[in-house]
């Protein structure tokens, strides 16, 4: 149903996988249908949160960072949320791993901003890919351009003959990506989440770029739901679940290619939607609770800048006096007085001095609400 492996023609022939067009109908077992109902219900509750939160930006940045961190870690990076916030707070040069995380966030934000002008198309995908790969590993592998040479997936020293998987030859890409784009904008005879899952496995099978296919494919999972108005904002971070289940994730994608069985991937994807949507709703409630408490604490300081600092914390849970000066337009003594005022009210904790001598202040409860344990770091 999904394709076949066969030998290419001509000199230097090799075995590659030739995908078929994405199926427009799919029969799924009852167990998968039940999982679909659970995932749809959880996704609906999360979509409702996005509609009722007065300021969705309050949730978007931490959720985007969770998605970016998990997706890049699947590809081998070791960045933590603490390191990302450190770069924000102190203004230091990001290391290579953090740069990949920041690129992921920037690429998704750029793509979302362009959705009004461009449909979900191969042109848009190429533009997102160019931003995803700018200045990071793979930047020398034609970012933003579909590959014109053969790639393969395998161990570091594998060859095309010993690779685990060889995607279709480059001359097949134009027709395959045209079909992918058409399917992404159709109303097929299947639920939207099933359509999303099929788009992902087909994209990873085609592997249209020389590098960055995994990150971009996972970015498109949530991007598609926003493009089709199932979510109003990127509040779902599926890569967190896929990272925890990395082996099952790769095995499930491989099963589609090797046996034509989409059920393991469908069920893994639907479980990811269900689990992470419910987790996102819980985190949203905690973040909103903290916002109310922090605002109440700031109100006792009798200055408008204290409320502005609270809003800044939800964008930057780690701050320095320099960051507060720049963002709030206040003097250094005022910035320090504001920070110590919130520290005295239990909102901030004074952290260690950075390498440039800047003292950091951390909203620890907020960090705990948006980060996994391993992402929090030591302050």
Give the H/E segment covering residue 37. Answer: helix 30-52
**CA 210/CA 188 separation, integer angstroms:** 30
Tell me the mean pLDDT in the region 181-186: 96
Q: How confident is the model at residue 377 (pLDDT cuts 50, 70, 90)?
A: very low
pLDDT in tens, 128-143: 999 999 988 888 889 9
The whole-number average pLDDT for the span 278-290 is 92
- With tokens 């002008």, the residue in question is 117
Tokens of 333: 């003594």
Q: Pick the last residue of a domain from 250, 280, 310.
A: 280
Residues 114 and 257 in one domain: yes
pLDDT number for residue 320:
92
pLDDT of residue 378 exceeding 60? no
Shared domain for 325 and 220, answered yes or no, is no
Residue 212's SS3 state is coil
Q: pLDDT tens across 29-67, in order? A: 999 999 999 999 999 999 998 777 767 777 888 888 889
What is the model's pLDDT at position 376? 45
Q: How crowded is residue 112: how many other Cβ atoms within 10 Å of its Cβ? A: 18
Distances (CA, A) of 56 to 48, 122, 190, 298, 313: 11, 28, 30, 21, 15
**Range of lowest pLDDT (26-40, 84-98, 157-171, 316-330):** 84-98
Structural domain contains residue 287: no
- What's the CA gap between 18 and 1, in Å, rounded? 11
Residues 196 and 248 in one domain: yes
- Residue 249, both tokens: 């994730």
Per the model's pLDDT, the better-predicted residue between 233 and 298 turns out to be 298
The pLDDT of residue 84 is 85
> CATH number, domain at 358?
1.10.10.10
> Starting at the edge strand that comes first in sequence, how are the strands of the sheet with 349-353 ordered?
318-320, 359-362, 349-353
Q: What is the pLDDT of residues 255-264, one digit of tens each?
A: 999 999 999 9
Residue 165 and residue 128 in one domain: yes
For residue 120, tell me if it sits in a domain: yes
Based on the fold, state whether residues 187 and 324 are members of the same structural domain.
no
Inside any domain, residue 77? yes
Determine the pLDDT at residue 354: 60
Q: Give mean pLDDT, residues 159-184.
A: 97
Segment 317-337 shows an average pLDDT of: 94
Q: Taking 70 as the threshold, does the pLDDT of residue 289 lie above it?
A: yes
Say if 294 falls within a structural domain: no
Segments in 53-153 forming alpha helices (H): 57-74, 81-90, 96-114, 122-133
Share of the chain above pLDDT 70, in %: 96
The reply to whether 346 and 272 lie within a common domain is no
Do 44 and 175 fall within a single domain? yes
Same domain for 123 and 14, yes or no, is: yes
Contact 102, 84 (CB under 8 A): yes
Q: Specify whether the CB–CB gap between 74 and 241 falls below 8 A.
A: no
Task: Give the residue among 226, 223, 225, 221 at the shortest CA–CA distance from 239.
Answer: 221
* pLDDT for the residue numbered 169: 97
Per the model's pLDDT, the better-predicted residue between 149 and 351 turns out to be 149
Query: Exposed, middle or buried, 213 (CB in 10 Å: 0-12/13-18/19+)?
Result: buried
Beta bridge partner(s), residue 7: 15
Residues 195 and 336 in one domain: no
Answer yes or no: do 237 and 364 share one domain: no
Q: Give the number of domains in the chain.
A: 2
- 95 in a structural domain: yes
| 291 Cβ neighbours under 8 A, 6+ residues apart | 58, 310, 314
* Torsion angle of C-alpha atoms 35, 39, 41, 46, degrees rounded to 10: 170
Judge whether 292 lies within some domain: no
Let me know whether 83 and 166 are in one domain: yes
Which residues form the domain of 254? Answer: 3-280
- Mean pLDDT rounded to a whole number for the chain: 91
Q: Where are the beta strands (DSSP E) in the chain?
A: 3-7, 15-19, 318-320, 349-353, 359-362
For residue 184, pLDDT over 70 is answered with yes
Write out pLDDT tens, residues 73-118: 999 888 888 788 888 777 667 788 999 999 999 999 999 999 888 8
CA-to-CA distance for 149 and 167, rounded, in angstroms? 11
């Amino acid at each position: 149903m999904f394709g076949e492996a066969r030998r290419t023609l001509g000199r230097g022939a090799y075995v590659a996988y030739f995908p078929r067009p994405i199926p427009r109908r799919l029969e799924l077992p009852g167990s998968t249908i039940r999982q679909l109902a659970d995932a749809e219900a959880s996704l609906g509750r999360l979509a409702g949160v996005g509609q009722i939160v007065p300021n969705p930006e309050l949730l978007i940045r931490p959720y985007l960072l969770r998605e970016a961190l998990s997706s890049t870690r699947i590809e081998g990076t070791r960045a933590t949320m603490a390191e990302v916030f450190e770069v924000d707070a102190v203004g230091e040069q990001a290391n290579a791993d953090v740069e990949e995380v920041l690129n992921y966030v920037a690429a998704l934000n750029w793509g979302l901003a362009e959705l009004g002008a461009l449909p979900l198309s191969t042109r848009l995908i190429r533009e997102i890919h160019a931003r995803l790969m700018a200045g990071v590993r793979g930047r020398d592998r034609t970012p933003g351009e579909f590959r014109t040479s053969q790639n393969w997936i395998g161990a570091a020293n594998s060859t095309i003959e010993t690779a685990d998987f060889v995607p279709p030859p480059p001359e097949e890409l134009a027709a395959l990506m045209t079909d992918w784009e058409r399917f992404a904008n159709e109303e097929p005879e299947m639920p939207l989440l099933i359509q999303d899952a099929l788009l992902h496995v087909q994209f990873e099978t085609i592997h249209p770029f020389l590098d960055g296919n995994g990150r971009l494919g996972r970015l498109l999972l949530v991007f598609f739901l926003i493009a089709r108005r199932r979510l109003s904002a990127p509040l779902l971070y599926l890569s967190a679940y896929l990272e925890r289940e990395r082996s099952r994730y790769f095995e499930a994608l491989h099963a589609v290619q090797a046996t034509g069985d989409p059920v393991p991937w469908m069920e893994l994807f639907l479980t990811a939607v269900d689990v992470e949507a419910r987790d996102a709703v819980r985190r949203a409630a905690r973040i909103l609770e903290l916002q109310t408490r922090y605002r109440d604490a700031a109100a006792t300081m009798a200055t408008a800048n204290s409320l502005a600092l609270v809003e800044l914390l939800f964008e930057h849970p780690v701050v320095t006096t320099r960051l507060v000066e720049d963002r709030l337009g206040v003097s250094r003594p005022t910035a320090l007085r504001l920070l110590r005022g919130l520290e005295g009210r239990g909102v901030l904790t004074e952290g260690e001095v950075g390498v440039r001598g800047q003292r950091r202040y951390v909203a620890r409860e907020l960090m705990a609400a948006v980060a996994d344990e391993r992402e929090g770091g030591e302050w």
